[in-house]
Structures are given as structure tokens and as C-alpha cells.
Amino acid sequence: MIFKTISIQNFGLFCGSHEFDLEPRTKYHKTSPIILFGGKNGAGKTTFLEAILLCLYGKNALNSRMSNQDYSKYIAGRIHRPRGGGGVKLKNASIQLAFSYAKFGEQHLYTVKRAWKKSDSVKDEIEEQLTLEENGEELFETEQVQEFLNDLVPIGVSQLFFFDGEKIQNLAEEESGNILAESVKSMLSLDIIEQLKSDLTTYSNRQKKKAQDGKTEKHLKDIEKRQFALDEQLSDLRQDRAQIEAHLQRVTAKIEEAETEFAVAGGKYAERREEFKSQHTSLQTQIEQFKSRIREECARLFPFSLVPELCEQLTQQVQGENEVQKWHIVKDVAQTRWQDIKENLNNGILKPSIAEKENLIDQIGSMIIEAFQPPEDFETIKLLHNFSQNEGAQLTNWAKSGAPASRDVVIEMTRQLEKALTELEKVETNLQRIPDDDAIAPHIKKMNDLNQALGSLNTKSDRIERDIRQHERQLNETNREYQKVLDELSLEEDLDHRLKLINGVQGVLGEYFNQLAQTKVRKLEHAVAQCFDLLCRKSDMIRRIKIDSQKFSVTLYDRQDQAIPKKQLSAGEKQIYAISMLWALAQTSGRPLPVIIDTPLGRLDSDHRRNLIECYFSQASHQVIILSTDTEIDQKYIEALNPFISHAYHLQYNPETESSTASEGYFWKHREADNETQQDQALLGSLQPA
């Protein structure tokens, strides 16, 4: 099967008629399988996928148990509502899908169209029309058309080929195997076998009832009424749960948007207002302390550290002056004491003649005075300061030890001051970024309102879950009671024979189910392991995969054949596992169908993204439609994917018209074209005569 074109009219975000060419084109002398749709969140990518599913399956694309009334209400809400249309309301919408399909070895062109029209009298009442053409000729009635489409691409099988990020996430996180079981059963049509077994059980029970008396029959009818009532209540509760979950997802998305808007408006800075103020005060105090300490050191010994050479000269000068002063003191004392010595000499210590005695005394005096003369080096030392011995020692100690210590203190205080000033500048910048309370008040109110709504929805969801569990317990008890009554009945011989045949058939069906499941599961295990090894950046991380053919639980084994709990995988590896499982299921199904993937790269790192782009997208199918944002497949990845891209569409949402438009090309192609146009216009302008 190959999707040729799809036409969307007045559906979802698309106003008017929009037609997309989906057929892969020839590029580089070969057919390129990928058709790339680029659009930011809310531009219509999910609407595109929903349109294909609704066109093929109608109500069943949403929920097989959805009532016609709820389906009509849903479709009425999906018909585009134009903005600024002067009160004009659109009443019609349609989706038309053309595809080729080989039947009996011959290609046929099919065109399926599903159109809706609002009722003029009853609110939210929708009239639906479904048509199918084969090679231009209309086929079947509406019910037969839907049966044909269901047989052509069963809705269970479509989930293996048309999926979004939520499908990948659910398969990645589930531990029970229920989702995988549904996919395998749909792929192998095992659900038909299960339905046949269920129908045989129903037939058997009905036959048992025929053999009962009126009282037993009445008892069985009462139980059946209770079963029916519980089934209806459970169905309603599950629908309510689905609606609540959808509403929860919408509210959660709005909360994320509101938080982003709050952050953009400076709300994150406003939340830290008091913290920033406290930091500002603390830093100012520290800065003053550092400055004060620096001033103190500058008033004490720090200036000495600025002139180390002068300090050295001063030390030498002071030491020299101290020595000179010592000699002068000794000299003065010697001169004073010489008078006493001279007097003693004159009084009789010396006995020569008077002339000789005076001459000898003068010689002795000269010798004493000369002995106490300072060295010749001291003649160059001038007495400048006249410090005392203690003052000179103190000054010398300051110059040698105190000044370097003071310098180290000033350097450390200066470093701390610069650091504090830098931090203060950052804090003042953050304080300036804080918006006024009036500016962020609407954002806060919006987030509070949304969180209150989320809390209310969670409360409702919890209550519904409790009710569902309670009803399920009651239904199980009722079913056991029903089976017990049937088992106690006395059956006729003919009925016993038929029941034995039914039991035999059910046994054969069960054995067939098990053998078929085991055969396909073995192939699936091998295919999943190959796909995972191809896509995972950790080569040979998973050696093999074991799938229980009864419970469909999955066990992963590493290179040492040791079981790996799936919860040990990273978020990206779980995503790769889920994509590998979907890819392997599609391969094992043997159905040549197109693949549609909506935003598949959200939780993957760069290595896993590249593996997915290089190894999966180009090989997933003969036709691959990718719906991506500019952050998933960006300029770096578009280059790797380009050889396999047939063509691309760019979806853009216009908030003024509240609608989306499409044009060929991807995000950056348009930007490059705009830049080239501007450059051409500038060049032409420069060539105009002045």
C-alpha cells in the first residue's frame, strides 16, 4: 500500500481545503521513502495523523465503545471554527485519502472519503457520509465500505504502523505486557480466535440454560441483568476515565506553558526576591568590612611594603646611626673620664719631672682619645633621625617583618573585595530583572487556577479508579456466581455431547493459539533483538530477548546472558526498545504498509537520535511519513536524513486566524529562501540610479 494524497477540509486547525502529496518521489536515481512534515507544537502535526485514522476507521479510531452521541459531539468540536469570520460558522468538514493497493497481483487506486455535516436543528448532531472508489468507480454501501477498510488494514495492525510519541512512551514504560499482547494478537489475528472461544462459551452457557427449570432460568436472568448493568456501568466509568485523562493531559500541557511564560516574564527571579535582597545586604556588609580592614592596614605598616628598597636603606641607616651613637657616647665618656685620670696622674701616680710628666700625660690622653675615635666608615654616616635604641629596633622590625605581613593581608582582603564586588554586581543584575508584582500577578493567578483544576481532576480520577476497581470486583464475583449456577445444572445427554464437542473445539483453538503465538513470538524475539542492536548506541548491549507467549512479558539478556530488568534502561534506551518492538512487529506482520511517526525523538539523546535517523527512518517502510518539530529533526540531523527525503512540508500556525497553513519545504529552507530574497532586493536597490 502507498498513500498517494490526502485532502483535509475544515478539520481541526486546517481552514479551507488543503491537499498533500504523499507519494514518494524519485531522487538521486532512486525512490526516496520519507515525506517529512515539520511544524512546531500546535501547528497541526497530530491533526494530520488523526485525520488519516479518522478517514480509515471513523469512530473506531477514537474508541470502539464510544457512543454515537459522543462521537457526533467530538466531530462537531473538530470542525474548524474560523476567527473573525463575522459570525460565520462552518458546518462541513471532510477528509479524503487516496492510496494504491495490490489485489491479486494488480495495482488498484482507492479513494476513501469521510465527510461530516452539522445538523441545522440539533446541536452537536453530525451526519456522516463514507464513500469508497476503486479506480474511479464507487463501491459498496457505507457499512460494507467500513468492513472492507477494516479487512484491508485492521485497526489493531494499524497501531504498528501509525503511531505517535505517546504510543512509544506507553510501550517503553509498560511492565505488564498488555500493550504488546494486543499488538501481537492483532498482528496474528489471534483476537479472532479469542472471540471465537468466547462465542463458543456463550453458546455453551445458553445451551445449559435451556435445560434448567423456570426457577434456575430466572436466577440466571437475574445474574445476567446484574452482569449487564455492571458492564454498562464499567463502560461508562472507563469512558469517564479516558475523558479525565485527556483533560489531565491538556491541563498539564497548559501548566507547562504557563510555567514557561512565567519564567520568560521573570517570575523565577521574583520568587527569589528576598533571597537576592538578603544576598545584597550581606555582600554590602562584607565589602565594607574588607574596605575597613584595607584602610586599617594602609594606616599601619602597608605603606612600608610599597617601598622595599627604601625600607632596606632605612634599616641600614638606622643601624649605622645606632653604631655611630654608641661610639659618640663612648667618646664623650672617655673624654669626661680623662680629666679624672689626668688628675690622678698629676697627684703622684707618675714620678718623673714635671715637663716629662706633662708630656707623658698628653701622650696617654691622645692615645686614649684616639682609641675611642669611631671607625673611618662612620664618617660617611650622617645622623638624620636620632632614634633611640628601642625606637631604631622597633622601626627595623616593622620594615623587615611587619610590612610583608601587612602586604599579604591587603592582597587577601583585595581579592575577597573583588570577589564580593563581582557577586554584588550579579545580585544587582538579578534584582533589576525582577519584574513588578503587577506584571507577574496574572501569570501566578493562571498557574494557581490551572493547578487547582489539576488537583480537582486528580481527585475525580482517583474516585473513578476506585469505582472501577469496585465494579470489577463485583463483576468478577457475579461471573463466578453465574458459572457456579451453570456448573450445578443437570444436563441432558445430547447437551452433554455438544458441550464435549465445544470443549474439544476450544481445546484445539487454545492449542492452535499457543503454537501460532510461540512460532511468531520466536521470530519476533529475533527481530526485536536485531532492531534494538541496530538502533542502540551501545553496541551488543542486548544479546537476546525472551517473550513469554502466554503473558507476553519481555525479558532482556545482556552479553553474559544475564537478565536485565527493563527499569535499568535509561529513558532513551526504553524509547529505542519501544521503537525496536514496533519495527519488529511491523516486519513480522508481513504487511507492506506505510509508516507514520508523530514526534518520535522527544526523549532521545543525540547518539540515539542519529542512530534512529540513519538506521530506522530510511528502512522502516517503503513509505515513511515523519511529523517532527524543529528541535527533533534540526539542521544537523536534516543533513543526514536528506538523501532519503522525497519532499517536505512546513506546517505553520497563525495565532491571528487560529489556523494552520502548509507549504513545501522544511523550516530552514524557507529561512534561506527569505534571506536570498532580501539579498536580491538589496542588490537591485543598490543598482538603481541615484
CA distance 586 to 614: 19
Backbone angles phi and psi of 184, in degrees to 5: -65, -45
271 vs 152, more confident: 152
Q: Is the pLDDT of residue 319 over 80?
A: no
Instruction: Give the strands of the sheet with 624-628, arranged side by side.
Output: 137-139, 126-134, 106-118, 92-103, 2-11, 14-21, 659-664, 645-654, 34-39, 624-628, 595-598, 162-164
Q: Is the pLDDT of residue 34 over 80?
A: yes
- Which segment of 276-285, 386-395, 417-426, 440-449 scores lowest on mean pLDDT? 386-395
Which three-class secondary structure string do you get for 626-654?
Answer: EEECCCCCCHHHHHHHHHHEEEEEEEEEE
- Quick check: 94 and 75 in contact, CB under 8 A? no
Which residue's entry shows cell 474511479?
136
* Span 483-506, pLDDT tens digits: 877 766 554 445 666 667 777 777
Residue type, 655: P
Alpha carbon 301 to its chain's center: 59
Residue 148: predicted pLDDT = 86
Q: Is the pLDDT of residue 508 over 50?
A: yes
User: Helical H runs in 29-164?
Assistant: 45-57, 68-78, 142-152, 155-158
Residue 318: predicted pLDDT = 67
Residue 292 — pLDDT band, cuts 50, 70, 90?
confident
| Half-sphere CA count of 483, side-chain side, radius 13 A | 7
- 593 burial type by CB count under 10 A (0-12 exposed, 13-18 middle, 19+ buried): buried
36 vs 439, more confident: 36
How crowded is residue 253: how many other Cβ atoms within 10 Å of its Cβ? 13
Residue 572 — pLDDT band, cuts 50, 70, 90?
confident
Residue 493: predicted pLDDT = 45
Closest alpha carbon to 188 in 146, 164, 160, 147:
160
* Span 188-223, pLDDT tens digits: 666 666 667 677 777 777 666 665 555 666 777 888
Residue 154 — pLDDT band, cuts 50, 70, 90?
confident
Residue 497: predicted pLDDT = 66
* Pair type for strands 106-118 and 659-664: unpaired
CA distance 573 to 552: 20
Q: What is the mean pLDDT of residues 653-674?
A: 77
- Which segment of 36-45, 230-239, 365-374 scores lowest on mean pLDDT? 365-374
* Span 248-275, pLDDT tens digits: 888 888 888 877 777 766 666 666 667 7
Residue 309: predicted pLDDT = 66
- Which segment of 143-147, 242-246, 436-440, 686-690 scores lowest on mean pLDDT? 686-690
Alpha carbon 99 to its chain's center: 36
Element (H, E) at 624: strand 624-628
